């Protein structure tokens, strides 16, 4: 039997959770990864009764939950805050918009997210961290090594109290390694781990779609961080093999625009080699869910989500428990 295939509800937060449950069940999903926005999982309301009601709703449709995700608030913990954040944060986290106040309230909300996860009965919180140094990703005016090191130190200072709280709760945080975060490739993920002294509550929500177009080895990432893959997103991306109008940085164009070097695709319709990912996950012993984060600007999402569920279930397989040539010994 393969791993459970779940649907991340972040891209469906415009719909009430029960409607998403109905659709996910009809598409063939085994469960949901609940986003902490919309009405899917509201951290400020998530007392025991609220969590029991969410479980009851999922049970009604035969759906499981293995994790919750709070990317939007997590982004504000270590970021350079500006008006963009106002549109993604709850009003009570944004407050008066003073950057340091926003960061502190975001950190408090991420601790509350861990507490809510425990009440719901899950042990993984996925999300973003934000980054005080993403604006320095291209080094001009020239960065100094100290500026980058100070950025990792600031990330650690802001996230260690959250991670310490998670450790006490028995919760693990999975950073979705992603451009604009403190870790966006293998090299920066190593530095992020080092910055928090390999904190046991800090690991990764693996998502290959953010690596391929950067030229990052997305299979090597699994082997490099074999003990830190806490959760897995199955999302695809397509990138060009010829020069394009808008390159890796996107040219300030919208997703789905003609002439982009890369774009997100429904699983199985891009360049990501999912079979090699499954084989790598088998090698490291990952037995958790495969969560579809469905994003494809050129496809109807209901068609895509149903197709994606079928594709992931077809591509997944259990590892062998015997050597294929052991029968020769008999």
Find the domain containing 260 and state its range.
5-329
**Does residue 327 surpass a pLDDT of 60?**
no
Kindly write down the DSSP assignment for every residue of 264-296, as one continuous string.
EE-TTSSS--HHHHHHHHHHHT--S-EEE----
The pLDDT assigned to 248 comes to 94
CATH code of 103's domain: 3.20.20.150
**Does residue 219 surpass a pLDDT of 80?**
yes
| Span 37-95, pLDDT tens digits | 999 999 999 999 999 999 999 999 999 999 999 999 999 999 999 999 999 999 999 99
Work out how many domains the chain is built from and give that number: 1
Q: How confident is the model at residue 330 (pLDDT cuts 50, 70, 90)?
A: low
Closest CA to 292 of 274, 319, 318: 274
The mean predicted confidence, pLDDT, of the chain is 96
The neighbouring-strand residues paired with 260 are 246
Please state the rounded mean pLDDT for residues 259-274.
98
The pLDDT assigned to 156 comes to 98
Q: How confident is the model at residue 147 (pLDDT cuts 50, 70, 90)?
A: very high
Please state, in angstroms and rounded to a whole number, the distance separating the CA atoms of residues 188 and 202. 14
Kindly write down the DSSP assignment for every residue of 23-52, as one continuous string.
HHHHHT-SEEEEESSTTS--GGG-SHHHHH
The pLDDT assigned to 112 comes to 98
Please state the rounded mean pLDDT for residues 129-140.
96
| Span 158-213, pLDDT tens digits | 999 999 999 999 999 999 999 999 999 999 999 999 999 999 999 999 999 999 99
CB 228 within 8 A of CB 199: no
CB 188 within 8 A of CB 133: no
In this predicted structure, which of 10-19, 214-223, 298-307, 314-323 has the lowest mean pLDDT?
314-323
Range list of H helices, 43-185:
48-60, 71-75, 83-86, 91-94, 99-120, 145-169
The pLDDT assigned to 320 comes to 82
The pLDDT assigned to 321 comes to 78
């Amino acid at each position: 039997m393969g791993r459970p295939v779940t649907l991340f509800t972040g891209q469906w937060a415009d719909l009430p959770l029960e409607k998403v449950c109905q659709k996910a069940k009809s598409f063939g999903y085994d469960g949901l990864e609940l986003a902490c926005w919309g009405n899917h999982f509201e951290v400020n309301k998530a007392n025991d009764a609220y969590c029991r009601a969410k479980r009851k709703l999922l049970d009604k449709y035969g759906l499981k939950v293995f994790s919750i995700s709070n990317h939007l608030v997590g982004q504000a913990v270590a970021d350079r805050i500006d008006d963009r954040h106002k549109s993604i944060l709850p009003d009570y986290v944004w407050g008066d918009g003073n950057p340091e106040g926003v960061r502190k309230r975001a950190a408090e909300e991420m601790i509350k997210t861990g507490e809510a996860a425990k009440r719901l009965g899950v042990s993984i919180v996925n999300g973003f961290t934000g980054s005080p140094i993403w604006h320095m990703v291209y080094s001009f005016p020239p960065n100094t090594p100290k500026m980058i090191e100070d950025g990792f130190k600031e990330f650690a200072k802001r996230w260690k109290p959250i991670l310490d709280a998670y450790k006490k709760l028995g919760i693990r945080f999975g950073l979705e390694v992603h451009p604009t975060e403190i870790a966006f490739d293998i090299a920066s993920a190593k530095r992020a781990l080092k910055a928090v002294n390999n904190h046991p509550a800090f690991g990764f929500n693996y998502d290959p779609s953010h690596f391929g177009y950067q030229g990052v080895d997305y299979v090597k990432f699994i082997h490099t961080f074999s003990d830190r893959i806490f959760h897995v997103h199955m999302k695809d991306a397509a990138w060009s093999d010829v020069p394009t109008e808008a390159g890796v940085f996107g040219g300030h164009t919208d997703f789905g625009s003609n002439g982009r070097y890369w774009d997100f695709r429904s699983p199985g319709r891009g360049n990501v080699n999912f079979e090699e990912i499954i084989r790598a996950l088998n090698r490291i012993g990952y037995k958790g869910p495969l969560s579809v984060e469905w994003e494809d600007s050129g496809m109807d999402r209901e068609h895509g989500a149903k197709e994606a569920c079928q594709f992931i279930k077809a591509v997944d397989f259990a590892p062998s428990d015997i050597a294929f040539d052991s029968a020769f010994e008999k």
